[in-house]
């Protein structure tokens, strides 16, 4: 493995190019015609145009990406996040082509991508899942199970995912109506009307465990990331350690993540997501079979370069770290700076960045592919920069995040920086007492953060 | 007789239908009034409705389905009813 094609764009493509360079690997960027002026194109050792702006004709175009790999003599493919990163057909196509796919085995991607199957694997690994039906369900069984676990419950489409195909039933009457409606909708949307039932956990937190595995049977965890601050199921601020985990729960959750990964035969980097309730109970929700956007917070507190580990594992080497050698030091916070206008319900704000001044100083990292003069295209994700700050403790990391956001200057487009300054000033963030519905509830109506 | 136009406030990809299986929101000859949905713009992975800000009859479409549009670009020409 010597020449890695990076099947992505933006900051994560740049992140992968940097990891390749540090390991002495050549990098090849791919780009759509909308990204000719993008930084990842200039930064890579070689760049190949793979099609028009629309992602389905370029970054989602398997044939075009494989053709680019052949053309430039790449022997590996790094998928990043989004686009084709969790697509088992793409992983298999790369491997059939003789390319190293930097990620887990195709079977693991497939199993974790099917929500009902992932739930079944978790149960068989002794990992707690959200109370509900074991698999697909009928109305009779749904009513029986719901009476047993208590309302409210979520009716979910087995073929859904990413927040799609979810309905909430508050009582028995609700559920009877919803099951028919949800089955019809799921059939129309996914071509499969099967449903399963999960208890709706109120005021729960979203906490995830980073795992890393190699082809030599080594499997380690790198502690947790707290990701409860979400808007419409999109994470906006992540931190580690979670303000809500005690040592006992942390150890138990990490152990559960390792058991699931081992049962799934997992290699490379992955993330096991859990809901954590107020009593310290935790429940598996899903596993992401790729690098996460928020991976840098883990890197800052452990000193492990996750992307380089991914590349090492892909070329058959053992992990460079052992479980005993992974220690969490201090705290880290990430805020996502999106090209959106928080004053106008987060309306997308593409366009030219006229001024860009990045923050610096102690404990500050910025992952971005933006530059002054760059046109943020309207075709892709709105993420333009990640600000990640670390400190000896949570207070110092938060103070640095506030200080660095104050230094950040982006002009020409709207960004979520004003929103983050307000969020960091809120009592909920200062005390760490928040949950997954917090932003929806506090932003309903007023658009303002509570004290 | 002056023609009015309906503009897209956002740049992105213009769609005439809510999803590929559905009928177009409006077609030539249809009457529209303020607040009617006449199209969709996809931008940064999210979809935004284009609303008519006037009353009239759809004379013609000034952009093709799935075409790229700029912010403020004319989408539909209206004629008085």
Prediction ipTM score: 0.79
**Total domain count for chain B?**
1
Residues of A whose CB is below 8 A from B43:
348, 350, 378
Indicate the pLDDT class of residue A256, thresholds 50, 70 and 90: very high
Optimal mutation site among A187, A351, A376, A379, interface B, most CBs of chain B within 10 A? A379
**Contact between B13 and A347 using a beta-carbon 8 Å cutoff:** no
Q: Which domain holds residue B21?
A: 4-79
SS (H, E, C) A290-335: CCCCCHHHHHHHHCCCHHHHHHHHHCCCCCCCCHHHCCCCCEEEEE
Rounded Cα distance between B10 and A344, Å, is: 13
Q: With 70 as the cut, is the pLDDT of residue A448 above it?
A: no
Q: Which two tokens stand for residue A265?
A: 């035969």
Indicate the pLDDT class of residue B2, thresholds 50, 70 and 90: low
Residues of B whose CB is below 8 A from A379:
12-13, 44
Q: What is the mean pLDDT of residues A60-76?
A: 97
Residues of A whose CB is below 8 A from B72:
none
Rounded Cα distance between B12 and A290, Å, is: 29
**Contact between A347 and B10 using a beta-carbon 8 Å cutoff:** yes
Rounded Cα distance between A376 and A395, Å, is: 33
Return the CATH number of A131-199, one of 3.40.640.10, 3.40.50.720, 1.10.10.10, 3.30.1490.20.
Answer: 3.30.1490.20
* Cross-strand bridge partners of residue A388: A334, A365
pLDDT for A279 equals 87
Rounded Cα distance between A313 and A321, Å, is: 11
Q: With 70 as the cut, is the pLDDT of residue A443 above it?
A: no
Distances in Å between the Cα of B19 and the Cα atoms of A187, A259, B30, B47, B65 are 15, 41, 20, 11, 12
What's the whole-number average pLDDT of chain A? 93
Mind listing the pLDDT tens digit for each residue in A347-390?
A: 999 999 999 999 999 999 999 999 999 999 999 999 999 999 99
Q: With 90 as the cut, is the pLDDT of residue A306 above it?
A: yes
pLDDT for A447 equals 41
Q: What is the mean pLDDT of residues A85-97?
A: 96
**Contact between A378 and B45 using a beta-carbon 8 Å cutoff:** no
DSSP A119-136: HHHHHHTT--B-SB-SSS
Listed by start position, the domains of chain A span 3-88, 131-199, 205-443
Contact (CB, 8 A) for A65 and A51: no
pLDDT for A355 equals 98
Global confidence as pTM: 0.91
Q: What is the CATH number of domain A205-443?
A: 3.30.470.20
Distances in Å between the Cα of A278 and the Cα atoms of A203, A236, A426, A434 are 7, 22, 21, 11
Mind listing the pLDDT tens digit for each residue in A386-409?
A: 999 999 999 999 999 999 999 999
Indicate the pLDDT class of residue B19, thresholds 50, 70 and 90: confident
Q: With 60 as the cut, is the pLDDT of residue A12 above it?
A: yes
Q: Which two tokens stand for residue B52?
A: 């008519």
Q: With 80 as the cut, is the pLDDT of residue B67 above it?
A: yes
Query: Which H or E element spans position A199?
Result: strand A195-199
Rounded Cα distance between A302 and A87, Å, is: 29
Give the CATH number for residue B38.
2.40.50.100
Contact (CB, 8 A) for A237 and A313: no
- Do A205-443 and A3-88 fall under one CATH topology? no
Give the chain A residue whose CA is nearest to the CA of B13. A379
Q: With 60 as the cut, is the pLDDT of residue A451 above it?
A: no
Of A54, A340, A378, the CB nearest to B11: A378
**Contact between B44 and A348 using a beta-carbon 8 Å cutoff:** yes
Give the residue from A355, A382, A398, A106 showing the smallest Cα distance to A243. A398
Could you give the dihedral angle defined by the CA atoms of residues A341, A342, A346 and A351, in that order, rounded to the nearest 10 degrees?
Answer: 10
Indicate the pLDDT class of residue A446, thresholds 50, 70 and 90: very low
Residues of A with CB under 8 A from a CB of B: 53-54, 339-340, 347-348, 350, 378-382
Question: Does the active-site annotation cover A15?
Answer: no
**Contact between B43 and A54 using a beta-carbon 8 Å cutoff:** no
Indicate the pLDDT class of residue A157, thresholds 50, 70 and 90: confident
Q: What is the CATH number of domain A3-88?
A: 3.40.50.20
CB under 8 A, 24+ apart: contacts of A64-68? A65/A5, A65/A7, A65/A30, A65/A90, A66/A93, A66/A94, A66/A97, A66/A99, A68/A5, A68/A28, A68/A30
Q: What is the mean pLDDT of residues A3-15?
A: 98
DSSP A186-198: HHHHHS---EEEE
């Amino acid at each position: 493995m010597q020449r890695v094609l990076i099947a992505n764009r933006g900051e994560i493509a740049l992140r992968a190019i940097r990891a390749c360079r540090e390991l002495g690997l050549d990098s090849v960027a791919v780009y759509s015609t909308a990204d000719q002026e993008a930084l990842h194109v200039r930064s890579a050792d070689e760049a190949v145009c793979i099609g028009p702006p629309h992602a389905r004709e370029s970054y989602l175009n398997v044939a075009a990406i494989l053709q680019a790999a052949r053309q430039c003599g790449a022997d590996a493919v790094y998928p990043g996040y989004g686009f084709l990163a969790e697509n088992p057909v793409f992983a298999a196509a790369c491997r059939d082509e003789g390319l190293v796919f930097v990620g887990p085995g195709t079977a693991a991607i497939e199993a974790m991508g099917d929500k009902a199957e992932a739930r079944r694997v978790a149960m068989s690994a002794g990992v707690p899942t959200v109370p509900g039906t074991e698999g697909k369900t009928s109305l009779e069984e749904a009513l029986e199970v719901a009476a047993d676990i208590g309302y409210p419950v979520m009716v979910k489409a087995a073929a859904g995912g990413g927040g799609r195909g979810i309905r909430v039933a508050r009582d028995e009457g609700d559920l009877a109506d919803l099951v028919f409606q949800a089955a019809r909708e799921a059939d129309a949307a996914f071509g499969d009307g099967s449903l399963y039932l999960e208890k709706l956990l109120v005021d729960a937190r979203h906490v995830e465990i980073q795992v890393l595995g190699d082809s030599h049977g080594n499997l380690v965890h790198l502690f947790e990331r707290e990701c409860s601050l979400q808007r419409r199921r999109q994470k906006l601020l992540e931190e580690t350690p979670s303000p809500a985990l005690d040592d006992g729960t942390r150890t138990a959750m990490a152990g559960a993540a390792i058991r699931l990964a081992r049962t799934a035969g997992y290699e490379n980097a992955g993330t096991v997501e859990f809901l954590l309730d107020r009593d310290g109970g935790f429940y598996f929700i899903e596993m992401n079979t790729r690098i996460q956007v928020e991976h840098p917070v883990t890197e800052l507190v452990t000193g492990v370069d996750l992307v380089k580990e991914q590349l090492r594992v892909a070329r058959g080497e053992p992990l460079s770290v052992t479980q005993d050698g992974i220690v969490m030091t201090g705290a880290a916070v990430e805020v996502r700076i999106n090209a959106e206008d928080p004053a106008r319900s987060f309306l997308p704000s593409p366009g030219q960045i006229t001024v860009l001044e990045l923050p610096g100083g102690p404990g500050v990292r910025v992952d971005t592919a933006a530059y002054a003069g760059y046109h943020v295209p309207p075709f892709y994700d709105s993420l333009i920069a990640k600000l990640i700050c670390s400190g000896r403790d949570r207070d110092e990391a938060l103070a640095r995040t506030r200080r660095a956001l104050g230094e950040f200057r982006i002009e020409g487009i709207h960004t979520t920086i004003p929103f983050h300054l307000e969020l960091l000033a809120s009592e909920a963030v200062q005390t760490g007492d928040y949950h997954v519905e917090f932003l929806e509830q506090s932003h309903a109506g007023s658009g303002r953060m509570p004290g | 007789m002056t023609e009015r136009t309906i503009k897209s406030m956002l740049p992105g990809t213009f769609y005439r239908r809510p999803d590929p299986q559905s009928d177009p929101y409006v077609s030539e000859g249809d009457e529209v009034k303020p607040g009617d949905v006449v199209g969709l713009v996809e931008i940064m992975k999210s979809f935004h409705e284009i609303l008519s800000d006037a009353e009239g009859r759809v004379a013609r479409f000034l952009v093709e389905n799935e075409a790229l549009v700029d912010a403020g670009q004319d989408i539909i020409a209206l004629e008085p009813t």
